[in-house]
Amino acid sequence: MGLFERRIDRRVAAYQRELIETHYREVDNMYRQMRGWRHDYRNHIQTMKAYAASGDWEAVRRYLDLLDEDLTTVDTVIKTGNPMTDAILNSKISLARARGISVTADAHIPVKLKISEIDLCCILGNLFDNAIEACAALPEGQRVIRVYMDMKGQQLYISFTNLTAGKKLKKEGRLFRSTKGEGHGLGLVRIDAIVERLGGYLSRNSEDGAFTTEILLPQA
């Protein structure tokens, strides 16, 4: 292996480590919020008991509405059957919605996956980050991401679609041109490398104001 290849490998490895650390921080932040809500649970109960004891049922109703709204922000919204997939998707969905992006996710993984957690983290994390970045260029109300995951026979199918700013993205070789710079490009390269190593299939398509990535990964 030449000097140039070794440098590329080091850059990709460093990017992969940074990506994984970022995802785990996001997941840890989500669960810290959940633990904090649970810690306050007894205080919430005592407050509502006090309102009920005084007969202030309107105050109880308002308090319950506030708690419902608060819980929605930290509740697990996706349960795929695979813990790592749940952690990644839920942390990214929370991040996207905080940025005014509507996310529709339909994900079911009823079997134990052959793909490693590191590979899964890199693929899903990069796909979501790219979709979030593309949506950020759109006005609120037009920011949409659709995620679909399921088993098709003995293959894991992953589909990510996000609306774009109307332009059809230009393709350079096998990749679409990035607007984010070096790190973003490495993320796309990393996805391609993982799919190729696992003997999978990858398709990217930019049409009609939407960008779609589809991946099939053998799990037999």
Residue bearing the bigger pLDDT, 30 or 83: 83
In the numeric block, the tokens 């590979």 are attached to 119
Q: Is the pLDDT of residue 110 over 70?
A: yes
DSSP state of 113: -
Confidence of residue 114 (pLDDT cuts 50, 70, 90): confident
Angstrom CA distances, 23 to 138, 146, 187, 190, stand at 24, 20, 13, 15
Domains of the chain, earliest start first: 76-218 (3.30.565.10)
Confidence of residue 192 (pLDDT cuts 50, 70, 90): very high
Determine which helix (DSSP H) or strand (DSSP E) holds 146, and give its type and residue range: strand 144-152
SS3 call for 171:
strand
Query: What are the residues whose beta carbons fall under 8 Å from the beta carbon of 67, sequence distance 6 or more?
Result: 44
Q: What is the pLDDT of residues 139-183, one digit of tens each?
A: 988 999 999 999 998 899 999 999 887 655 555 444 444 444 444
Round the average pLDDT of the chain to a whole number and report it. Answer: 78
In 73-210, which residue ranges form alpha helices assigned H by DSSP? 83-98, 117-135, 182-197
pTM: 0.65
